[in-house]
Amino acid sequence: MRRLLVLTLGTVVAVSGAAAAQRSRAPTVSLAAVGDVAMLASSDEGAGFFTRVRPALVGDVVLGNLEGTLANSGVSKCGAGSTNCFAFRAPPSYARVLERAGFTVLNLANNHALDYGPEGQAETVAALDRAGLRHTGRPGEAAVVRVGKTTVAIVGFAPYPWANDLRDLTAARKLVRAADAIADVVVVTIHAGAEGSAHQHVKRGVETYLGENRGDAVAFAHAVIDAGADLVVGHGPHVLRGMEWYRHRLIAYSVGNFLGDGSLSISGPSGVSAVLQVRLRANGSWASGRIVPIKLVLPGLPVPDPVRAAFGTVRTLSRQDFGRRAIRVTSSGRLLPPAL
C-alpha cells in the first residue's frame, strides 16, 4: 500500500491514508529513476512511448521528471510566432501511459511545469492523481510512499519560484530534515545545470544557461545529504553527467533525456541515456546499484542500447569530475563505491 503526505517546511499539512509512518525494519527498498520525460500528443496516444524499456522501469519507487504538462487547458508561455520558446503539452489521459509504463512518482520541479500556466499545472496534477501517480516538487511538497513497513520520501527541487527552490539552501535543508523526520529513506531529485552536449561536466559553483541561474548543483547536493538525504538524482542538462560518492551516499548529477517524442534533441550525447536502479537499506544506507543503458531513437523514444554507451560515459565523466570520489562503473553496469 502506498500513501501520500504533503509537507511544508518542517510541518505535515495534509495526509491521505493513515497517519505518518513509524520507523521500519524492511531490508531494502528498490528504486528506478530516469531523467526528462517530455510528452506530446501522438497518433498512437502514447502507446509506443515506453514499450521497449518497460522491463527496466521496475522498483518499489519508479521516478521520472515530467518535463511539461498533461492538460487541455491553459495559455502557452510562448507567444504567437515564437521561434525560440518551447512549451510541452500532452492530453491528461497520458498520465495512464506513465502509470502503465511503471512510473509511480513524477517530479514537477522543472522549467516546463508552468508551460501552460497555473491552469495547465492544476490539470496536470489532477490527471496524475486520477492515475494514482504521486508527484513532488511544488513549493513545500514531498511525495511519501509506504513500501511495506518502510517509508520513502521523494522531494523535488529546481531553480524556480514555482518549485522547491534549490537556490535557497537554508529552505532546502529544512524541507529535507522535515522529510527525514517522518521517513526512513529520503530521495532528492533536482532539475539543475546548463543544457546540452557542451555541459556534460559538473561545474563547481553556480551554473547559468541563457542568462538564467540554474543553481549550484554540487553545493546543493552536499547540503541535502548533510541534512539527511540518502540519494540525489539529477536531470535538466539533457545529457548524462558523472556520479559522485559523498558521505556514503550516491549523487547522480544528471541521468539525461528519457523521452523526447520530437520535443527534445537526441543527437550525439543527448541521445545517450540510462535507467538508474538502486537498492537502499531501510536506514537509507547503500545496498547496491546499476545503470541500464538506453539510447533514444527517432522521434525520441527510449530503447535498450546494445552498445552500452552509458557505461563509458558515466565512468569517464565521474573520474574526470570527482577523482577519488567518483562512483565506479563495472563492465556490466554495476555501480560501486570508490575504493578510498
User: How far, in Å, CA of 136 to CA of 119, rounded?
Assistant: 18
Residue 56 is assigned to a structural domain of this protein: yes
pLDDT score, position 185: 98
Q: Domain with 107 in it: what CATH number? A: 3.60.21.10
For the cut 90, the answer to whether the pLDDT of residue 192 exceeds it is yes
Q: Please write the tens of the pLDDT for every residue from 209-221.
A: 999 999 999 999 9
Residue 280 is assigned to a structural domain of this protein: no
Reported as a pLDDT band with limits 50, 70 and 90, residue 261 is confident
For the cut 60, the answer to whether the pLDDT of residue 26 exceeds it is no
pLDDT score, position 290: 98
User: How far, in Å, CA of 100 to CA of 183, rounded?
Assistant: 27
For the cut 80, the answer to whether the pLDDT of residue 13 exceeds it is no
Report the amino acid identity of residue 26: A
Reported as a pLDDT band with limits 50, 70 and 90, residue 77 is confident
3-state SS assignment for residue 83:
coil
Q: How far is CA 99 from CA 105, 131, 146, 235, 266, in A?
A: 9, 7, 18, 20, 24
Beta bridge partners of 158: 165
Report the amino acid identity of residue 154: I
For the cut 50, the answer to whether the pLDDT of residue 308 exceeds it is yes
Q: Please write the tens of the pLDDT for every residue from 112-164.
A: 999 999 999 999 999 999 999 999 999 999 999 999 999 999 999 999 999 99
Helix spans in the chain (H): 95-101, 117-130, 169-182, 217-226, 309-322
Residue 309's domain spans which residues? Answer: 4-76+86-274+285-336
Q: Tell me how many domains the chain contains.
A: 1
Residue 279 is assigned to a structural domain of this protein: no
Taking CA 310 as the corner, what is the angle to CA 308 and CA 313, rounded to the nearest 5 degrees? 125
Residue 148 is assigned to a structural domain of this protein: yes
Q: Find all residues with CB under 8 Å of 233, minimum gap 6, and list them.
A: 33, 63, 187, 188, 189, 190, 252, 255, 276
Of the chain, the percentage scoring pLDDT greater than 90 comes to: 85
Residue 24 is assigned to a structural domain of this protein: yes
pLDDT score, position 325: 98
Q: Which triple of cell numbers denotes residue 118?
A: 497555473
Residue 81 is assigned to a structural domain of this protein: no
Contact 248, 289 (CB under 8 A): no
Q: Please write the tens of the pLDDT for every residue from 42-74.
A: 999 999 999 999 999 999 999 999 999 999 989
